Structure 1
Amino acid sequence: MRRNIFLVLLTLFILQSCNAQPKKINGVSFVASREAISQKNVMPVININANFAAVMPFGFIRDITHPEIAFNTQRQWLGETKNGAQQYAVELQKHGIKIMIKPQIWVSHGVYTGHIEMATEANWKVFEQSYSKFILEYAKLAEEVNADIFCIGTELEKFVANRPEYWNNLIVEIKKIYNGKFTYAANWDEFKRTPFWAQMDYIGIDAYFPVSETKTPTVAECMANWGTHKAVIKSTSETYKKPILFTEFGYRSVDFTGKEPWRSDRAMDSVNLEAQTNTSEALFKTFWMEDWFAGGFIWKWFHNHEKSGGENNSRFTPQNKPVEQLIKSHYEAYK
């Protein structure tokens, strides 16, 4: 009798295990602010069933041809500096949230970082030295806080294309400092040409793929339009035998949000919460169940949850909008 009960329980356990969803990186891109964070700021992250946060310190350059990066300055917000990033990481980890350290560059006036390109060889050398100081400083931080993932750059297409030898050497130097997993955040139209995926643990993509031409796209429409993109993404994963990680993903709560999802200009201000929800649901249904897909980081999440987003907000954040419950539900299924 006992043996029969044991066999029944074992069978139920095996069936449950087979039906269980694979665990994913359910992340938020945790925006740097002026102030330190506390448990109060972490609880909303936990409440949406996130298990990862991208902590994003910043360096600044004057324009896309300027060769020196300013970082860890007195003029920066706390969360943009090394000390602030460390405080954020430690506080999040205290509550069971794993960390990706993702240093980023901001070009004055929000000019796209993928266009950073030096005019002379001398300036390239200066820029490389400056970028190495910047990124190695945060590789040390990633090691110090035992971050699970370190992102070696974000949307730097022309820099990567023009200086491949530099990047190969930089990766070697980073690996002398940091012992965790690596990725690079390639823009959605860049990742196919990124030359060093074999040296990464994840193929990182900022997933702003166009998926709809309509004002309020349906879930079915977006899923159909993901088809071609998905095939290329999967093929890249198979070529390098590396999982795909959406280092950023998300949609604004505006009309035509699926048409050019990368756009952040404030001229787009017609609030459309349904469009944001539908495009997000299509992305989850397209990718989260795939075994070659590691997960991703929603763009973007602010520390002061109670004051962020809301139903009159047209920006990317899902906070206090219908899409927040959608994210919570999908994250719960794969946590």
Structure 2
Amino acid sequence: MKHLLKVAMLVCLLQSCSSKSQKINGISYVAAGEPTTQAQVAAVKEVHANYAAVMPFGFIRDIEDPELMFNSDRQWYGERREGVKQYIEMLESNGINVMLKPQIWISRGEFTGYLKMNTEEEWQNFEASYREFIMLYAGLAAETEVALFCIGTELEQFIVNRPEFWTKLISEVRTIYKGKLTYAANWDEYKRVPFWAQLDYIGVDAYFPISEEKTPSVANAQIGWQPWKAEMKEVSEANKKPILFTEYGYRSVDFSGKEPWQSSRQMKEVNLDAQNNLMKALFAEVYHEPWFAGGFIWKWFIEHDNVGGHDNPMFTPQNKPVQTVIQEHFKTTQ
């Protein structure tokens, strides 16, 4: 009997250690104009990603426009329901879990966090269209049994001004989708989101300013993480929920740790070392924390062989030295 008890305790300990070591090693799988292929998904598997975010888009003309357009023939295949379903099925058939993450794009790339209506009528019209947008994809999430569903991305003013809408929306999503839920809050917003108790993960788009250096060393970037780590630990413990980086990554440019959210095409000076060192520091400082669930690299284009490269100054890690950094890290944290 004592022998059986010891064996049972050992099994439980091993299971506990295994579960603690497993992280969401995800990439953000960018929509394209055509179906995805086995060869394209194979490139995701090669970096040892175990999750992918699939992102259908809704479009708005400006930050005060209550009309949200989505699932339209005018959109790319991968931005519509039919394309999203094909992407999900292809990824899942390869053993890659999916976070379905509907997002809003405002014309000219205006920041979604400022999205705010002027009148009650406009708010009600916008809420009705946003609810339809989210429930369409919550239904698809249920149909395809994705592991994770994200109810919104960087919508601070929408949440501040209409908190009751979000509480009702989450409850409604729960009636049809039984998997895990999150919301993708901006790095300077997540502390104030009022509905974390209704969700399973505290989602953070983790563009925290880490370093003022042109080419930060790994050590310099690690120092930059310390206040943010303390803050996230506090928020996680207060809400009794793990932190999930719904987006994270760095551009391969000078000063990429200073304002990591910057997507300006005026930043053209390629700096592969900066991207490498910042990613290494993030992995070293954040990944081992017990309150950290993992995250999704921003961003991964489906035509892997034709994107990124050593002359590319944008976020994608594809065909750059940082891809190897990610690959090696993901391999050890499955």
* TM-score, normalised relative to structure 1: 0.95
Q: 1:19 to 1:137 in 2, by over 3 A?
A: closer
Aligned twin of 2:309: 310
Q: 1:20 to 1:94 in 2, by over 3 A?
A: closer
Aligned twin of 1:273: 272
Q: How does 1:35-54 map to 2 (within 5 A)?
A: 35-54=34-53
Aligned twin of 1:263: 262
Q: 1:123 to 1:216 in 2, by over 3 A?
A: same
Q: 1:270 to 1:143 in 2, by over 3 A?
A: same
Query: Secondary structure in 2 aligned to 1:238?
Result: helix
Aligned twin of 1:58: 57
Asked if 1:210 is matched to 2:209, the reply is yes
Aligned twin of 1:244: 243
**Equivalences, count:** 329
Query: Secondary structure in 2 aligned to 1:215?
Result: coil
Q: Which amino acid aligns with 1:113?
A: T
Percent of aligned pairs sharing the same letter = 57
Do 1:21 and 1:334's aligned partners in 2 also have CA atoms closer than 8 Å?
A: no
Aligned twin of 1:4: none
Distance apart, 1:17 and its partner CA: 8.6
Q: How does 1:319-330 map to 2 (within 5 A)?
A: 319-330=318-329
Distance apart, 1:66 and its partner CA: 0.2
Q: Which runs of 5+ in 2 are unaligned?
A: 1-5
Do 1:22 and 1:291's aligned partners in 2 also have CA atoms closer than 8 Å?
A: no
CA distance in 1, matches of 2:60, 2:176: 25
Q: Deviations over 1:230-265 (max 9, x none)?
A: 111010100011011000000000000000000001
Q: Which amino acid aligns with 1:308?
A: V
Q: Which amino acid aligns with 1:131?
A: Y
Q: How does 1:159-178 map to 2 (within 5 A)?
A: 159-178=158-177
Aligned twin of 2:283: 284
CA distance in 2, matches of 1:15, 1:79: 40
Aligned twin of 1:222: 221
Do 2:147 and 2:179's aligned partners in 1 also have CA atoms closer than 8 Å?
A: yes
Q: Which runs of 5+ in 1 are unaligned?
A: 1-6
**Larger displacement relative to structure 2 (281-290 or 25-34):** 281-290
Q: How does 1:169-188 map to 2 (within 5 A)?
A: 169-188=168-187
Q: How does 1:58-97 map to 2 (within 5 A)?
A: 58-97=57-96
Do 1:27 and 1:51's aligned partners in 2 also have CA atoms closer than 8 Å?
A: yes
Distance apart, 1:291 and its partner CA: 1.5
CA distance in 1, matches of 2:34, 2:17: 45
Q: Which amino acid aligns with 1:285?
A: A
Aligned twin of 1:122: 121
Distance apart, 1:20 and its partner CA: 9.5
Distance apart, 1:16 and its partner CA: 11
CA distance in 1, matches of 2:248, 2:190: 14
Aligned twin of 1:253: 252
Aligned twin of 1:138: 137
Q: Which amino acid aligns with 1:245?
A: L
Do 2:20 and 2:290's aligned partners in 1 also have CA atoms closer than 8 Å?
A: no
* TM-score, normalised relative to structure 2: 0.95
Q: Deviations over 1:57-87 (max 9, x none)?
A: 0000000000010001111000000110000
CA distance in 1, matches of 2:264, 2:202: 28
Aligned twin of 1:29: 28
CA distance in 2, matches of 1:21, 1:237: 16
Distance apart, 1:21 and its partner CA: 6.9
CA distance in 2, matches of 1:46, 1:308: 17
Q: 1:307 to 1:114 in 2, by over 3 A?
A: same
Aligned twin of 1:98: 97
Q: What RMSD over aligned residues (CA atoms) do the two structures have, in Å?
A: 2.1
Aligned twin of 2:3: none
Do 1:29 and 1:297's aligned partners in 2 also have CA atoms closer than 8 Å?
A: yes
Aligned twin of 2:197: 198
